[in-house]
Amino acid sequence: MRAKASDMHTKDCVKVAVRVRPFNKRERDAGSRCIISLVSTSISIQDPRDCHNRRSFCFDYAYWSHSGFTRDHTGLFVPEEPGGRYADQDSVFQDLGVGILENSLQGYNATLLAYGQTGSGKSYSMVGYGPNKGLVPKLCDRLFEAIRENQENRQCQVFFSMLEIYNEQVVDLLFRGSRTAGGLRVREEQQRGFYVEGLRKIPCENALQVEQLMEQGTRTRTTAATQMNANSSRSHMLIILQLKQIFSKESITKQSNINLVDLAGSERQRSSGSEADRLKEGTAINLSLTTLGNVISALADVAVGKKVVHIPYRDSVLTKLLQSALGGNSRTVMIATLSPADICYEESLSTLRYAERAKRIQNRAVVNESPTERLVKELKAENARLMQKLSRMDQEGRRASDESKELRQLLTQNELQIRAIQTLWEQNLQEALKDWEQQYASITQERRMMQMYPYILNINEDAQLSGVVKLFIQEGDWVIGLCDSSPRSISIKGLGIQERHAVFRNEQRRVTLTPVMGSKVIVNGNTVYETIELQHL
């Protein structure tokens, strides 16, 4: 059941939606029972250890995607019965995505925050899988559709940026050179607020190009995560779509940002796993989410009239970059995803409490004019005034006076400044576009190699990040392990990986694997000690 769609784009309160997903395989195997119930926009959760302890919450939107669905012939998940309570991807987009799109076209900044534990369905709601497209691809499709429909009365440009925050460091996912010590710097400016210095903006002409950029960014993110920790993608991801609209008749330029934020889930630290890196990583995630919680709590107190001395935006990189989305110049929606299983009770209750605080926040959204365009417009207006003044002086016969020379000099300086601003903007765009084209060429080459050679894939706890790192096994013998100095080596990093871990042999696409003494190799659940031939999948 989903809430009745409300007029979200006329108010500046943060809108909050919750979505309940189906049981996954682990929960079914554990014999889990459903502890969440949903009526209209009210959601209740029951403590599995105490049947009398039930907590209820009320949100702007609530979606039941746990049961009552079937897969049609195209692979889409749809309600079993017409008008059933199951909320599909299109229902979620109509309520949340359409409002975000309308806000952006009106010139307002718009933000979509996705929060939930790992495996709670965030990626499915945000990105989707196969024909079940999520909010982000649907939003991009509709954005470019709206641009095509309105191209007669306005010129539009769309720019795409994609970054991740890992261990309090910012990485540009569209530029491999940004992965330096300390990451990119977050700076503050009075007009812009907090921004990432040197973040690439790639101009996009259609939804397919955005999809390609997202694929490239996801690949960069996964590669980095695999190098740091073999089983980890524990980072916050932020996609920024910047829409620039030029209304030639009204001489107005509107510039708005659509921020799509996939927050990492906060989890209790497990005793097993990579104790050093995993603990450091978990601490950084929990620090940023705790700071985000403190910001949300402070803003919620402000909204109900309490006196708050300090809102801790500066305490983490995440909250700096989300300042406009929370209590600032943006119209914001948060979608919180939940597992209904009794074994996830504590995580689900924590998510609901988080979401409940967020819905009290009030933002102050305004229509945005482009700062570059505004500066150019001011310079042109000043030049028009100078020309009028010079014209009057010519009529009065003071053409050669010192004042006249000074005005002409000022006029020339303004013209040069206008030309420099416009030239610099074009150069930056061309450089960004050229860099992206080079990087996407490597992805195209990888696809060709997939047709030529056998390869192995990464497996990740996040389904969206599985299968995007490919290691190719070309003809001959290839050593796999920590070693990366040999020209015939495949380098991987992770717990328990030795310098020389195993040897792949490819003879006319017939691949065998030989473990090196002392290394642990498992094929289909069985430990391997001698040479074994590998089969497809």
Which residues face 39 on adjacent strands?
Answer: 42
Using alpha carbons, list the distances in angstroms from residue 55 to 46, 348, 383. Answer: 6, 11, 65
**Residues placed in the known binding site:** 116-123
Residues 6+ away with beta carbon under 8 Å from 239: 136, 160, 161, 162, 214, 217, 259, 260, 261
CA 226 to CA 203: how far, in whole Å? 29
Based on the residue annotation, tell me whether 262 is a catalytic residue of this protein.
yes
| Cβ neighbours of residue 143 closer than 8 Å, sequence gap 6 or more | 101, 104, 158, 207, 241, 243, 258
Contact criterion met (CB below 8 Å) for 164 and 235: yes
- Residue set of the binding site for ATP: 116-123
Active site residue 124: yes
- Among residues 32, 65, 104, 123, the one annotated as catalytic is 123
Measured distance CA(179)–CA(170) in Å, rounded: 8
From the candidates 97, 99, 119, 134, which is the catalytic residue? Answer: 119
**Annotated catalytic, 141?**
no
Q: What is d(CA 461, CA 229) in angstroms, rounded to the nearest whole number?
A: 12
DSSP for 71-133?
E-TTS-EEESSTT-SB--HHHHIIIIIHHHHHHHHTT--EEEEEE--TTSSHHHHHTEETTEE
97, 121, 134, 327: the active-site residue: 121
The answer to whether residue 99 is catalytic is no
CA dihedral 465, 466, 470, 476 (to 10 degrees): 160
The total of other beta-carbon atoms located within 10 Å of residue 430's CB is: 11
Distance, CA of 471 to CA of 178 (rounded, Å): 23
122 classed as catalytic: yes
From 99, 134, 217, 265, active-site residue: 265
The Cβ-side half-sphere exposure at 494, using a 13 Å CA radius, reads 19
Which of these is catalytic: 61, 108, 115, 124?
Answer: 124
Tokens of 281: 């990583």
Q: Out of 122, 244, 254, 320, which one is annotated catalytic?
A: 122
What's phi and psi for 334, nearest 5 deg? Answer: -120, 130
Which entry of 95, 262, 342, 462 is annotated as an active-site residue? 262
Q: Are strands 61-64 and 69-71 parallel, antiparallel or unpaired?
A: unpaired
177 catalytic? Reply is: no
**Residue 77 one-letter amino acid:** F
Planar angle of CA 271, 277, 278, nearest 5 degrees? 40
Does the annotation count 121 as an active-site position?
A: yes
List, by residue number, the catalytic residues: 119, 121-124, 262, 265
